[in-house]
Amino acid sequence: MGRLKLVIGNKNYSSWSMRPWVLLREAAIPFEEVQLKFDAAAKVRGVEAYSPTRLVPVLMIDDAPVWDSLAICETVAEMFPEKSLWPADVRARQVARSVCAEMHGGFGELRGAMPMNIRSSHPGKGMSPAVRRDIDRVCTIWQSCREHFGGGGPLLFGRFGVADAFFAPVVMRFVTYAVDLTPAAQAYADAVHALSAVREWVAAARQETEFVAADEPYAHKT
Ligand SMILES: N[C@@H](CCC(=O)N[C@@H](CS)C(=O)NCC(=O)O)C(=O)O
């Protein structure tokens, strides 16, 4: 088994970095963390030493990079089958992969208008009909997974897995922008917020002081 080194960006802002970090930490998989910081334009200083895409996150396995949060989470799940990071049931696993892929490639309105900014509070900012449609789709995914596959615990497929790591940054956005959720969606968001890895990430994000202008469309406007 290779040594794992996860290269991430600022914990306050880097939603893509949060996914594999939360996955590894919540699954109690040991890894070394390398944090690189964004400049004002949200470019990552020093990332070229690790990532062929110059983006974070990137997982170094010994010295070999795996880039992109989805590929990293798939690789981690494959390396540690005993952690059951995908559901055991075939249909549940198909749906888990589908919702991760949907989250990975979609929700552009939500991402653009409500960037992750854990230490800030911007209630009501960023909302529009298109953003509301994205939020409603997220709520439908959460409710449907919980109803059909969530019997074994409070998370999307019962116990913690890749899908929860994928939606953790969305939960953070809903907190920052004080988004109204259905009771079922709020209960799931609360369960994600209560994960020890999420609490650890949030505590570290709140300590960060860098201001990344490109990720702060609502600064000075509250
Ligand atoms: N699809 C990629 C997206 C990675 C990404 O866009 N990362 C951002 C930070 S959250 C980044 O590295 N930005 C630096 C830049 O655009 O130069 C993934 O899932 O890992």
Contacts of residue 81, defined as CB under 8 A and 6 or more positions apart, other chains included, come to none
The answer to whether residues 84 and 46 touch, using CB atoms and an 8 Å cutoff, is no
Given the CA of residue 42, which atom of ligand 1 is nearest to it?
14
pLDDT at 169: 98
Contact between 30 and 79 (Cβ < 8 Å): no
CA-proximal residue: ligand 1, atom 10 (nearest): 14
Residue nearest to atom 18 of ligand 1 (CA): 68
Note the pLDDT of residue 40.
81
Best residue among 55, 69, 103 to mutate for probing ligand 1's pocket (most ligand atoms within 8 Å of CB) is: 55
- Cβ 23 vs Cβ 70: under 8 Å: no
* pLDDT given for residue 1 in this prediction: 77
pLDDT of residue 12: 98
Closest to 134 measured CA to CA, from 176, 170, 187 = 170
In this structure, the residues whose C-beta lies within 6 A of any atom of ligand 1 are: 9, 14-17, 42-44, 54-57, 68-70
What is the position in ligand 1's atom list of the atom closest to the CA of 58? 20
Give the pLDDT confidence score for residue 83 in this predicted structure: 98
> Which residue's CA lies nearest to atom 17 of ligand 1?
43
Residues of the chain with pLDDT under 50: 221-222
What does DSSP say about strands 58-61 and 32-35: parallel, antiparallel, or unpaired?
A: unpaired
Q: Are 81 and 100 in contact (CB under 8 A)?
A: no
**Can you tell me the distance from the alpha carbon of 94 to that of 83, in angstroms, rounded to the nearest whole number?**
18
Closest CA to 187 of 219, 146, 127, 220: 146
Q: What is the pLDDT of residue 97?
A: 98
The residues pairing with 32 across neighbouring beta strands, listed in sequence order, are 5
Which pLDDT score, from 0 to 100, does residue 42 have?
83
Q: What pLDDT does 222 receive?
A: 44
CA 208 to CA 211: how far, in whole Å?
9
What contacts 65, CB < 8 A, 6 or more positions away?
A: 50, 51, 52, 58, 59
Token reading at 205: 């994000």
